[in-house]
Chains A and B, each alone.
Chain A
Amino acid sequence: MFIEGRELVFKHNIPVTKVEKYWKGLEEGKIYGTVCKSCGAKYSPPQADCSECYSSDMDWVEITGEGVVEAMMEQYTFPAGFEFLKEPYVVAVARFGDFRVVGWAREKVWVGDRVVAETDKDETGVWKVYFKKV
């Protein structure tokens, strides 16, 4: 026998103030990482504070050019929050020089494929990176 619990909905307000440049950048077609001015540590996704030397003095650098896919997956079972999708979706991690970037692939990619990155928003208005094969 089961009893239905009372509903509890979490819809978080996520503070992105310190990495606002990244989120604004996506809307302008740009993907940013950060580089610590003090020790040179590189961060993608970006962070405003350096985990290595504890400095908070960071350079924002644009990640551009061609990347190489290092890992991928194609998701067939949809998690809650992604019911709006009609087809399996491909997530890849690609290396662009010193930075790795996660993105949705517009088409199926495999490890070693060369890709370029662009930005767009999905049906729920969330901006993100999309990869296209070169």
Chain B
Amino acid sequence: MRVGVIGVGCTKFGVLERTIQELAFEAVREAVEDAGISKNDIDISVVGTSNTRGYELMPAVPVNEYCGFAGKGPIRVEAACATGSAAFYTAYSSIVSGMADIAIAIGVEKMTEVNTPTSLAVGGRSGSYLWEFHQYGTTFPGYYAMHASAHMAEFGTKPEQLAMVAVKNHRNAAKNPKAHFPKEITLEKAVSSRYVAYPLKLFDCCPISDGASAAVLASEEKIKELGKEAVWVEGIGFSSDTANVAKRGSYTGLKATVEASRMAYKMAGIEDPLKSFDLACLHDCFTIAEIMAYEDLGFCKKGEGGKFVEEGRSDFGGDIPCNTFGGLKAKGHPLGATGLAMVYEAVKQLREEAGELQVELKNYKALTHNIGGTGHFGWVFVLGL
């Protein structure tokens, strides 16, 4: 059975003075209005939130109530930074199973209700607490810094190449009013910024953002009945890796990305990923993550990710524009919202509703790549017209 996305919504990302339910409401209302249906037409709601920082510890029900879905779900989903994609998959599965005709996936995260040291200590628990954070104070930037060290040592990837990811994504975010940081930065500013976790600097890191996004999905039959246009889910892939950093195969890439993309490409019939998509939304929580993603998704060979960005191949006008709305790096990364914000970006682009940030459509296909933790979860979607 084919499943399509008929409505999307996304809040501005940033430090937002809203409760988790108020924030979710904004994205849900936009998505339902975009779908052109009544919220009462929705059979089930999926609430994706990591919510390890917000005050509302069990937020799915308050979110569901506030959005007017009491009695329809909610299914709460958590997959760290890939929570939004897991929510999307859950909504998709509820339709494929025949249990629902129309489902909504809601992704929401309140990251700024605690201070930065607390946020770092929470993110640092994304591996295996007892063996890592408890003993060594590992942090989320720290884990990706380890990957950066291995990539730089093995392939000679340069700090300037990492910074080029940030410069590109900030340039895109500058034209996205929903971005946390809608402003350009210079390469010099990025390279000369202070270290957060060596070898990663401040401008190698995404901000700590609040935000919400949502997508309304429906079965092909229902879409025909409603007479709607849809962006179709053509491929879905998922994978995961060990919790413990010491038990990983390699530090120069993320196996979860490789495996998830293989699965999604197979389902969607993708043979040459570099030539198949008009855009890609990549999980650039840190600049090194986008560089590894180019390689692990098959856009270039392992070790050539630094050169890929340096040559402008991931920019507008390049082989495959990546993170056209600014990426996690500059648009922001509210954990639960991120995967669905990628779906929002892909849908807007495929419908040619991206304004100044519109890519040229040739294949009418987009890829989303959403990672939880440091490759602890991996999700890849192929969306198309």
Binding site for B on A (CB under 8 A): 1-2, 5, 14, 16, 43-45, 70-83, 85, 88-89, 91, 93, 100-104, 110-112, 126-129
Contact = CB atoms under 8 A, between A and B. Distances in A.
B118 A80 contact: yes
A38 to B, nearest CB: 19
A74 B245 contact: no
B142 to A, nearest CB: 5
Contact of A104 (B124, B136, B146, B153): B136
Given A45-B246, A76-B196, A91 B137 contact: yes
Contacts of A72: 145-146, 149
B120 A79 contact: yes
A5 B20 CA distance: 14
B246 A93 contact: yes
Most chain-B Cβ atoms within 10 A of its Cβ — which of A1, A71, A100?
A71
Contacts of B148: 73
A102 B139 contact: no
Given A78-B117, A102-B245, A73 B145 contact: yes
Interface of B: 17, 55, 113, 116-118, 120-121, 123-124, 128, 130-139, 141-143, 145-150, 152-154, 194-200, 244-247, 251
Contacts of B198: 73-74, 76, 88
Contacts of B123: 79
Contact of B131 (A45, A73, A112): A45
A73 B245 CA distance: 13
Contacts of A103: 136
A129 B141 CA distance: 21
9 contacts: A5-B113, A71-B149, A72-B145, A73-B141, A73-B197, A74-B195, A76-B194, A85-B137, A110-B153
A44 B149 CA distance: 21
Contacts of A129: 135
Nearest to B115: A80
Given A93-B246, A110-B153, A111-B153, A71 B135 contact: no
A112 B153 contact: yes
B251 A82 contact: no
B172 to A, nearest CB: 26
Given A14-B130, A70-B150, A111-B153, A77 B120 contact: yes
Nearest to B201: A76
A14 B131 CA distance: 12
Contacts of A77: 116-117, 120, 139, 141, 196-197
A76 B131 CA distance: 21
A79 B124 contact: yes
Contacts of A71: 146-147, 149-150, 245, 251
A53 B116 CA distance: 42
A27 B48 CA distance: 42
Contacts of B131: 45, 102
A118 B138 CA distance: 19
A93 B251 contact: yes
A73 B196 CA distance: 10
A5 B13 CA distance: 23
B197 A81 contact: no
Contacts of A101: 246
B245 A93 contact: yes
